[in-house]
A and B are shown apart, each in its own frame.
Chain A
């Protein structure tokens, strides 16, 4: 076989692979949307779910998903960023750093159901809270943290060395250099990474089954006191998220319109995650343009 025909075959093979991947994605995506979009309506998004009757919505589940996501990010972003800064700027190469790095890698490859079981032990039983939003958010933090540490570390490391040296050579201390030069330059990548991680958190079900629970109390959206039992803002109440809802409706639902509800929920979930991704890209490029002055 001549190298020319080998080249042609290789090109063909890669095109076929690309076509297969794209068609799987497009097929899956359009299947979910086609089946689900017809069921999405304002009523579906704003009415509470029902356990027995048809026509229930996903209002509480949608709210819970976003609420848990926000809480998770509030807890995990500072920790992840701190870990990333430590790994990129302070950790001396050696045994300790290697151990920390392997721990992070192991943590990031833990199956989410295992994190769920760990959450059950730690945040449900040990603390005695029962199923709570906070427990769910903490379990998701465990799930999310390794990714955020990795993203922040990579982002900080990819800031050109010359910028850091330029700042240090002006007599600026290490911490000030991190704060005023490294973090702002790394910010777009960190933000993009955090938003992409949000998509993963938003769609996570297994880690929440045993931590945030499968039920939501009757919520009163006019009650903004976070300590009141019926307030949506109460972090010590159980909360079923959208992804968990899809699972529970399909496995133990008693409602007659199981298929419509789960299809509609799946479509809402996928659209939300898609929006996160688009948002990440849009914000990332915008900030990149602003700081590098490219038009």
Chain B
């Protein structure tokens, strides 16, 4: 593991262990995540990659019987500390799920939902946030004439981009994506991948993916998880051309998983 902790890290995970009941799902994870980089997490089903990404905004708390030890430092603050303000954390660490999950409201209201509840009341200000967020995800031109129609009328790919816009609207600095394209067709997938490459200029992105080509196309760093362990974390080019661990090589070359 060649990466070292520097001032550029947003997340610094140290010695993280996680249990579901008696099942040891994450084992001694050390994982620095750098600012304004795309970090891809790959690994076979059940390796703990989705569990891991859910710890970063503590969505894992909604799973019953979860126990964690270790540190997850976000900008120097350990978020496993009980005094943490969850609202603040999740405003700053946005999340996009496997399947687009727009609320049954208008397109505008979907994007304005977060900022509105977090206290932005002025309409001009909200308009600005909605416009900017939708532009950031390249959805503005497609929906600008029907902002007040129901979001569920959009296509699957558009819905997923809307959900990304919704997450961006609370002005996060990290965006977590849990297999964001697994329910999409190839063209919509391509659009999301382009989007990720554009977004990394402003945001730190962590993406879980089943698709190794996707990891190699969009990410700067790639992490390989196996059976709850972080086997290897390195530059994406290194992982895919010259992995240090033979299990990584085995997975990438398709020998298992």
Give the interface of A toward B (CB within 8 A): 160, 162-163, 165-173, 176, 180-181, 184-185, 290-293
* Given A163-B103, A180-B117: A171 in contact with B97 (beta carbons within 8 A): no
Within 8 A of A (CB), among B83-136: 86-91, 94-95, 97, 99, 101-105, 113-114, 117-118
8 Å CB contact of B170 from A165, A171, A291, A292: A171
CB-CB under 8 A from B101, the residues of chain A are 160, 162-163, 165-166
* Interface contacts beyond A291-B105, A293-B151: sample of 12 additional A-B pairs, CB < 8 Å, sorted by A: A165-B62, A165-B97, A169-B57, A169-B95, A169-B97, A170-B91, A170-B94, A170-B113, A171-B87, A171-B170, A172-B117, A184-B104
Closest Cβ of chain B to A155, distance in Å, is: 14
B114 near A171 (CB under 8 angstroms)?
Answer: yes
CB-CB under 8 A from A173, the residues of chain B are 87
B150 near A293 (CB under 8 angstroms)?
Answer: yes
CB-CB under 8 A from A292, the residues of chain B are 104, 150, 152
Is B197 close to A, CB under 8 A? no
- In the bound complex, CA of A292 to CA of B89 (Å): 31
* Given A176-B117, A180-B117, A293-B150: A169 in contact with B94 (beta carbons within 8 A): yes
| 5 closest cross-chain pairs (CB), A and B | A293-B150, A171-B90, A162-B101, A169-B95, A293-B153
A167 near B103 (CB under 8 angstroms)?
Answer: yes
CB-CB under 8 A from A165, the residues of chain B are 59, 62, 97, 101
A293 near B149 (CB under 8 angstroms)?
Answer: yes
- In the bound complex, CA of A171 to CA of B119 (Å): 12
Could you give 8 example pairs across A and B, Cβ below 8 Å?
A165-B62, A166-B163, A167-B103, A169-B95, A170-B113, A170-B166, A172-B117, A293-B151
- In the bound complex, CA of A88 to CA of B94 (Å): 26
B89 near A171 (CB under 8 angstroms)?
Answer: yes
CB-CB under 8 A from A168, the residues of chain B are 59, 62, 90
Q: How many residues of B contact A (CB 8 A)?
A: 31
A291 near B104 (CB under 8 angstroms)?
Answer: yes
Closest Cβ of chain A to B124, distance in Å, is: 22
A181 near B103 (CB under 8 angstroms)?
Answer: yes
Kindly supply a per-residue 1/0 record for chain B positions 152-185, scoring 1 wherever the CB is within 8 Å of any chain A CB and 0 otherwise.
1100000000010011001000000000000000
A185 near B104 (CB under 8 angstroms)?
Answer: yes
- In the bound complex, CA of A170 to CA of B163 (Å): 10
CB-CB under 8 A from B87, the residues of chain A are 171-173
- In the bound complex, CA of A170 to CA of B175 (Å): 11
* Given A171-B118, A291-B150, A293-B149: A162 in contact with B90 (beta carbons within 8 A): no
CB-CB under 8 A from A166, the residues of chain B are 97, 101-103, 163, 166
Closest Cβ of chain B to A267, distance in Å, is: 40
Most buried by B among A171, A181, A185, A290: A171
Q: Which residue of B lies closest to A290 (CB)?
A: B150
A180 near B153 (CB under 8 angstroms)?
Answer: no
CB-CB under 8 A from A163, the residues of chain B are 101, 103-104
CB-CB under 8 A from B149, the residues of chain A are 293
A171 near B91 (CB under 8 angstroms)?
Answer: yes
- In the bound complex, CA of A31 to CA of B117 (Å): 56
A171 near B150 (CB under 8 angstroms)?
Answer: no
- In the bound complex, CA of A160 to CA of B87 (Å): 22
CB-CB under 8 A from A160, the residues of chain B are 101
Closest Cβ of chain B to A274, distance in Å, is: 30
Within 8 A of A (CB), among B167-207: 167, 170
Closest Cβ of chain B to A65, distance in Å, is: 36
- In the bound complex, CA of A173 to CA of B90 (Å): 10
